[in-house]
């Protein structure tokens, strides 16, 4: 895989460099609530601009239905990128239409432009190779060189991620180079003890990575909504907690495999429960109760790990040499259910382990809860991409960057 350093050594001055970034940031209206992904790609864009490239940045945002939708415009992301770069960033109001063509044509050496949301064009996400190819051809006409740096999208076989690199000389940006290097530390010659912390809503989202990590990890800690399927598999009442009943057989199999392999599986010993889901807009007090994990009332919902589980998980992380964490321990967006996620983050900060926060809600939680990002070994920009890499899958966007 050619790196951006090699690309820069070859010279990019005067060339139109297409950077596939991941500017898929959370928005409250037009206000960005977490700019982590923009800051992550900024070094690549800045270095190309400094080298005299005419930088064309493209990304998706959200899940529009293949047509323009103002709610998913990249305009706020373009403005924030300009603030971070300390320069004006042009913005094209379409992806491959008149605005994009004119905007790119007007770029001077060292200038940067952002195209409108790639997913406003159905060709970006089409499952039809020919349709994706037509869109990739149109994108290729806007550039001379391709730089892949949208790690959060490399597990997608989309036109700008998979098809476009085949049409242009290509290289991996600083972010992708860093992300892949970090993930190799979690899969090749891992320092032990290796502890994995998995949370989030659905156990089905994590089955593949659990299956793979049973061959790699020494200890797996489970929290979040997915924990209740594990508790159910052990025969416990979980009340009205989030439950994937159809996944109970698979979970039971993993618990048995873990025991046979000597992998320590750690589940909550107590949880915070309430009779209804909290209001995340008003953040009104929820008044949760703490109950044992094997004694959840039938009319209650588990929404966070309890105080004893926080202590338990911190102790299980204290001696780790390597930690991978993906998924919050509870409904961290509400202050009454944030302590479990906060406790795991603090345990990683306190640990000498090389810690990787696996993107998605975990990365957002770290920032929202006020932790210094530099206190962690690495905070990934791609939750789904990180998980699929750890599952051992071939990621289309990485395969496309290989020579």
Binding-site residue positions for substrate: 22-24, 37, 60-63, 119, 156
How many Cβ atoms are within 10 Å of 6's Cβ, its own excluded?
A: 11
Residue numbers belonging to the annotated binding site for ATP: 206, 302, 333, 359-362
CA distances from 344 to 129, 182, 232, 368 (A): 43, 20, 23, 14
37, 132, 232, 342: the active-site residue: 37
CA distances from 238 to 50, 199, 270, 296, 350 (A): 56, 16, 12, 5, 32
306, 360, 382, 397: the active-site residue: 360
What is the full DSSP assignment across 343-374? HHHHHHHHS-SEEEE-SHHHHHHHHHTT--GG
Q: How far is the C-alpha of 247 from the C-alpha of 249, rounded, in Å?
A: 6
CA distances from 316 to 183, 229, 274, 332 (A): 22, 21, 27, 21
Residue 384 annotated to the active site: yes
Residue numbers belonging to the annotated binding site: 22-24, 37, 60-63, 119, 156, 206, 302, 333, 359-362
Please name which of 354, 300, 350, 310 lies closest in space to residue 330, comparing C-alpha atoms: 310
Please name which of 176, 251, 183, 248 lies closest in space to residue 216, comparing C-alpha atoms: 183
Residue numbers belonging to the annotated binding site for (2R)-3-phosphoglycerate: 37, 119, 156
CA distances from 223 to 30, 257, 313, 325 (A): 32, 19, 10, 11
Please name which of 115, 87, 110 lies closest in space to residue 100, comparing C-alpha atoms: 115
Catalogue the active-site residues. 37, 202, 360, 384
């Amino acid at each position: 895989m050619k790196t951006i350093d090699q690309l820069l050594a070859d010279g990019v001055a005067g060339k139109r460099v297409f950077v596939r970034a991941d500017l898929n940031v959370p928005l409250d209206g037009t206000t960005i609530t977490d700019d982590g992904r923009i800051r992550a790609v900024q070094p690549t864009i800045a270095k190309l601009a400094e080298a005299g490239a005419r930088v064309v940045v493209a990304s998706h945002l959200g899940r529009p239905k293949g047509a323009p939708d103002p709610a998913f415009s990249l305009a706020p992301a373009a403005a924030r990128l300009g603030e971070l770069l300390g320069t004006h960033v042009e913005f094209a109001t379409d992806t491959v239409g008149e605005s994009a063509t004119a905007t790119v044509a007007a770029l001077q050496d060292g200038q940067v432009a952002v195209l409108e949301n790639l997913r406003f064009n159905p060709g970006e996400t089409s499952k039809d190779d020919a349709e994706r190819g037509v869109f990739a051809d149109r994108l290729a006409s806007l550039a001379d060189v391709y730089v892949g740096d949208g790690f959060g999208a490399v597990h997608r076989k989309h036109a700008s991620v998979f098809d476009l690199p085949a049409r242009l000389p290509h290289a991996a940006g600083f972010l992708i180079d860093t992300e892949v290097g970090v993930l190799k530390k979690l899969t090749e010659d891992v320092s032990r003890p290796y502890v994995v912390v998995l949370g989030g809503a659905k156990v089905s989202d994590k089955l593949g990575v659990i299956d793979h990590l049973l061959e790699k990890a020494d200890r797996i800690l489970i929290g979040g909504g997915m924990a209740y399927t594990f508790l159910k598999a052990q025969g416990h009442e979980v009340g009205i907690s989030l439950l994937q009943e159809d996944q109970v057989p698979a979970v039971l199999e993993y618990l048995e495999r873990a025991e046979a392999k000597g992998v320590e599986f750690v589940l909550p010993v107590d949880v915070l429960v309430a009779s209804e889901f909290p209001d995340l807009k008003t953040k009104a007090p929820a008044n949760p109760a703490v109950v044992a994990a094997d004694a959840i009332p039938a009319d209650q919902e588990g929404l966070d790990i309890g105080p004893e589980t926080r202590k338990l998980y911190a102790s299980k992380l204290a001696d780790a040499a390597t930690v991978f964490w993906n998924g919050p321990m509870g409904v961290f967006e509400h202050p009454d259910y944030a302590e479990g996620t906060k406790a795991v983050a603090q345990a990683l900060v306190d640990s000498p382990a090389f810690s990787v926060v696996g993107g998605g809600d975990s990365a957002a939680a770290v920032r929202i809860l006020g932790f210094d990002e530099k206190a962690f070994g690495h905070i990934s920009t791609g939750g789904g991409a990180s998980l699929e890499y750890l599952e051992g899958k071939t990621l289309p966007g990485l395969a496309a960057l290989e020579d």
